[in-house]
Amino acid sequence: MRIVLTGGVSGGHIVPLIAVAKKIREKNPQVEFLFIGPQGELEVKLMAAAGIPIRSIATGKMRRYFSWLNFLDAFKIPWGICQALWILLWYMPEAIFSKGGSSSLPVVLVGWLYRIPVMIHESDANPGLANSILGKFSRRVAVSFSSAEQYFPSAQVVFTGSPLREDIASGDPQKARTLFSLTESKKIIFVWGGSQGAQAINDKILDILPELLHKYQIIHQTGIKNLEAVKHKAGELGIKAGREGYFPVDFIGEEMRDILAVADLVISRAGSSSISEIAANGKPAIIIPIQHSNRDHQRMNAYAVAKVGGCIVLEENNLGVNMLKEKIDEIMNDEALRTKLSTNIKNNFYHPEAADRIASGVLGMIK
C-alpha cells in the first residue's frame, strides 16, 4: 500500500504529516510513504529522520497582495502540476494526505485527476486559500478548529484537532534544565516564533531583555536566519548568549517537549501547531499573531483561544515594550491567572487522539 504525503514550508506542516504517518504505520506496517513537495532544509531533515523519501516539485506561493514574485510563481504552479502528473503516474498511491499550503496544490489536483482519494487537514480557524480550493477536490477534510467546519461541505468535514507528536506532552523538565544550565531560582520564559522564527517578536524581546533577565530565564527560539543577529544585539546589550540566563537557539527539534515542560510562560505566534503543543503541555501563553497572515488566520486562531480564556493576545502593531513587559509580569506574578490560562487552553485545544483519527480516515478511504 502506498500513501503520498504533501504540504510543507514550515514545521507546522511537516510535523503533523509525520505524526499521521506514524499512526498509519502502527495500523498497517506494510504501508509505504512518499513525500511530494518543497525540498527545503526542514523538509529534508524531518522526513529523513522519519524514514520517508522525498520527491521535490516546483511550488509557488499564492499571495493575496501585490508582489513581483507573483509573476514568477505563476509559472511555478503549472510546472509543479506537470511534475506531479509524472510522479503520481509513476508512484500511483492508494491515497493522498495533504496538510495544505500552496505546495500541496499540484499534488492534490493531479490526485483528483487520477481519481486517487484525498484527505486534507485544515489547521486554522479560517481556512487558507489553498485548502479552500482543495476542499472541492478532496474526499475528506479534517479541521483543527470547530469554526472551520462551516467552510466545507458537512458531508466531508470532521473535527479532529491538530495531529501532534505522540510524546509532545511527556517532556522531562530536568533534561531542559541540564541542557540549558537553568537554575531553580528563576521562572522560565520560552520565546517561540515558530520553526522560522519571528523577527518582530525577536526585536521586542531584545528591547526589554536586560529588564527581563533580572527576574527570569529565557529560552529564545530565534529562527535559523535570525540567530546571529539576535546574539549580536544581545552582545551589544552586554548579554552573552548561553550565560546570565539567556539561551538563544536557531531551531528546536526533539528537545521541544522538554522545553515546553520546563517553561512557566510561552510567548508565541498563533500557528495552529504551536497553539496545540502549548495546549498539550497546559502552559500559560502570550500569543502574538502575525499582523498580515493569509486570510488573517493567525488572529482568528489567537482569538479563538482567548475566547475561552486560554491565552493573552497582544496585537503586533500595538505591541509596545512596556505593554509586553507588564503582561509578562502580570502572568508570572499571578498564580491563579496562570492556572486559569493553563487549564482553559489544555481543555479546549489539546486533542491527543487527532493523529489516530486522521490516520483511520486516510486508511478508510482505501477500498
Tens digit of pLDDT for each residue in 80-130?
A: 999 999 999 999 999 999 998 888 999 999 999 999 999 999 999 988 888
Question: Which of helix, strand or coil describes residue 122?
Answer: strand
Q: Which of 71-85, 172-186, 230-244, 343-357 has the lowest mean pLDDT?
A: 71-85
pTM for this model (two decimals):
0.89
Are 197 and 141 part of one and the same domain?
no
DSSP state, 227? Answer: H
Are 210 and 287 part of one and the same domain?
yes
- With a CB cutoff of 8 Å and minimum separation 6, the contacts of 220 are 191, 202, 205, 230, 246, 247, 248, 249
Supply the pLDDT for residue 353: 96
Mean pLDDT to the nearest integer, 50-78: 73
* Chain mean pLDDT for the chain: 91
Residue 114 corresponds to which cell in the numbers above? Answer: 487520477
DSSP E strand stretches across 226-358? 246-249, 265-268, 285-287, 312-313
Are 153 and 184 part of one and the same domain?
no
Supply the pLDDT for residue 181: 94
Supply the pLDDT for residue 25: 96
Is residue 64 very low, low, confident or very high in pLDDT (cuts 50, 70, 90)? low
Q: H/E element holding 330?
A: helix 321-332
Edge-to-edge strand list for the sheet holding 54-56: 54-56, 32-37, 2-6, 95-98, 118-122, 140-143, 157-159
Edge-to-edge strand list for the sheet holding 312-313: 246-249, 216-221, 187-192, 265-268, 285-287, 312-313
Q: Which of 36-50, 51-65, 87-101, 308-322 has the lowest mean pLDDT?
A: 51-65
d(CA 331, CA 322): 14
Are 91 and 58 part of one and the same domain?
yes
Supply the pLDDT for residue 200: 87
118, amino acid identity: V
Supply the pLDDT for residue 71: 60
Number of domains forming the structure of the chain: 2
Q: Which of 61-75, 95-109, 165-179, 223-237 has the lowest mean pLDDT?
A: 61-75
Are 19 and 74 part of one and the same domain?
yes
Supply the pLDDT for residue 13: 78
Supply the pLDDT for residue 367: 74
Are 64 and 182 part of one and the same domain?
no
Are 70 and 136 part of one and the same domain?
yes
Supply the pLDDT for residue 305: 97
Are 130 and 261 part of one and the same domain?
no
Q: Which of 53-67, 107-121, 123-137, 206-220 has the lowest mean pLDDT?
A: 53-67
Are 67 and 52 part of one and the same domain?
yes
Mean pLDDT to the nearest integer, 183-208: 87
Are 182 and 276 part of one and the same domain?
yes
Domain containing 216 equals 173-349
Are 302 and 356 part of one and the same domain?
no
Supply the pLDDT for residue 225: 86
* pLDDT > 70: percent of the chain: 92
Mean pLDDT to the nearest integer, 196-204: 82
Supply the pLDDT for residue 35: 96
Are 220 and 96 part of one and the same domain?
no
Mean pLDDT to the nearest integer, 229-246: 93
Q: What is the CATH number of the domain that holds 201?
A: 3.40.50.2000
